[in-house]
Amino acid sequence: MNVTQITHHDLDGYGASTVVGTFVDVSRIVHVPRYSDVGPVVEAELKRLGKAPVPEMIVMTDLGLEPVAVTFIRNFAAMNGRRDAGTRHRLIVLDHHASSIDQMREQGLAPTLDAANPNLSRFDLSDSDTTVLIDADCCATRMAYEHRALYATREAADVADLEALVAAVDAVDLWKKDRATFIGGLSLDEVFWDNVSNLVPIGHPWHDRFVSALLSAVAGRLRTGATPSEIEASVGEIRKGIVDAFLADEATDDRSLTTRMRIARVLARSDLFRPLSDGTLMSFGLDSGMFQRVSDLIMETGKAKRVLNVQRTGSMSFRSNNETALDGARRFRGGGHRDAAGGKLTSGSAFSLADAIAQVEPVLNPPAPDPSASPFAALKNWKA
């Protein structure tokens, strides 16, 4: 069964995706940085699932159920009820926000307290393949671990490091400063934010593998008693070890380079960049330092003469080797150098690569005017 996970873009969200990926093969992970971005994501999923001929599984973790998410859950259950028994999808929602219970109530879905755990609320959607659990007393990472029977297709041989990860995330996400695992959770949170987007960006096949491997390795060191200072000092070594493993069979890999340089070479060969109609290659959410390296490698190979990166915040970076970067930036109220310039999306933000492309393309490459739309078109062939 194809499995998609939709999760929050924070330590708990990635902790949950690390746990889920341990027990089932996840085909696609969608990281949502802002709760306001949940709507477009779940609406697209509902349309896609409505057309999918075979059953799929959706696992939603740590999203905070705002009205649009609750509406999605209700619509999913209704859609599932109209499908043939052998083609029904599965939806598993694991959340820990107290406000989510209020949002469910507002749409007529009352909670039922679990007999074994009074902090756990269940919700009846009249669809046995839709499961919604909300537990405000633990983080989503712990919920994904404790309720893995809902989605798991395998067990893990050794879960010691995974349980250390769960304990650390649970302590820091709930801000339980009295727990012995809290200080380790703070270390883990620092490592996460320092590395989640600056090396392997969202959208590249390595992204979730890299972050999960990093979190798991740090959790393993916490389990054996490493201090926050020791964790901090070891991060570079851990990252290098992960990249060594990823590139073990890569004949062109040069281990004398830094980790960032080695990853830049991988990104330059990937399909992370999408072509616009004028040949500009565009990426989304790439770290500024990494973009500088990757764009140079791309242009060096002749794949493009101009490269563009758009951030979620709407900031834009143009690079070129034919003095067109500044021309592009000027279309977005920007400026800079001829081959290195920046601008800003008119809307101020973008939530995905597709959204960014939809905003950039018509401004960077506006369609040619339609002659027939001119008020003088009728006079073109008129003769006195």
CATH number of 272-364, picked from 1.10.3210.10, 3.40.50.150, 3.30.70.270, 3.10.310.30: 3.10.310.30
Antiparallel, parallel or unpaired: β 2-8 and 56-61: parallel
**In the chain, what is the greatest distance between 2 CA atoms, to the nearest angstrom?**
94
Radius of gyration of the chain from its Cα atoms, rounded to whole angstroms: 24
Give the DSSP letter string of 40-57. HHHHHHHHHHHH-SS-EE
- Asked if 124 and 77 count as a contact pair (C-beta separation under 8 A), the reply is no
Q: What is the mean pLDDT of each run of 10 residues along the chain (384 residues)?
A: 95 98 97 85 94 96 94 96 94 96 95 91 95 96 98 95 98 97 98 94 92 98 97 97 96 95 93 94 92 95 96 94 97 96 93 91 88 63 59
- All structural domains of the chain with their residue ranges: 1-156, 158-270, 272-364
Tokens read off for 73: 């859950």
pLDDT of residue 30: 94
The sheet carrying 274-275 orders its strands as 274-275, 281-284, 306-310, 315-320, 340-344, 335-336
- Asked if 43 and 96 count as a contact pair (C-beta separation under 8 A), the reply is no
pTM comes to 0.89
Q: How far apart are CA 270 and CA 204, in angstroms?
A: 8
pLDDT of residue 367: 87
1-156: CATH number = 3.40.50
pLDDT of residue 374: 66
pLDDT of residue 98: 93
CA nearest 214: which of 200, 233, 195? 195
